[in-house]
Amino acid sequence: MDHLAEKQYYFVYTFLEYVTFTYLLFQNMNSRTVARVVAIISIPLLVFQILYLVYAQPKLLDSVPIGVYTLFMLGYIFYYFYRVLMSQVSVPLYKQYTFWIAIGILTYLSGTFFFYILINHMPKSQIRPYWFITYIFDIIKNLLFVVAVVIFTRSTQNGSNKPVTNHKTPFLDFN
């Protein structure tokens, strides 16, 4: 694979990974606003990645877009956790498959963040011995995803709680 093709491959891989993780995280949230905000954020990120691919000359990987995507993904995950904490759902966290997806993504991104950021500054001789770090976190992520899949297949759809709407009281005073 020549250098340009390799860059294009990494470009597509990074973007697809971001899209897949974002979809997995938010697909169960049922919020149009969140979906719209994520879509609006993703467009400039994609533009930035294309510009980086065209103008920057990374040695091996597109470290900067990976770092930026990772930071945004971490932001999404923290938002997801915030929503989970604020929700009144009584189902324990470990019984929600999205929780396992979120910690899978979080563990993978956290574990590989420094490796991908520093990879272009490392001599090639040092990269190979440390590549195993990404494998370890990839395996952990996949195992956590398996747990999510098992929970998803076992879970049954329950009815949702309808929100109570407020209303004004009518005229009830004197005369």
Shortest Å, Cβ 47 to other proteins: 26
Q: How far is residue 15's CA from residue 156's CA, in Å, rounded to a whole number?
A: 33
Q: Which is nearer to other proteins, 50 or 143 (CB)?
A: 143
- 50 closest CA partner among 38, 60, 40, 42: 42
Q: How far is residue 43's CA from residue 71's CA, in Å, rounded to a whole number?
A: 16
174 is an interface residue for other proteins by CB under 8 A? yes
Q: How far is residue 126's CA from residue 111's CA, in Å, rounded to a whole number?
A: 18
Shortest Å, Cβ 174 to other proteins: 6
158 is an interface residue for other proteins by CB under 8 A? no
Stretch that binds other proteins, among 4-12, 27-35, 49-57, 85-93 (CB under 8 A): 85-93
Q: How far is residue 175's CA from residue 167's CA, in Å, rounded to a whole number?
A: 23
128 is an interface residue for other proteins by CB under 8 A? no
Stretch that binds other proteins, among 20-28, 35-43, 44-52, 84-92 (CB under 8 A): 84-92
- Six token digits for residue 51: 């510009």
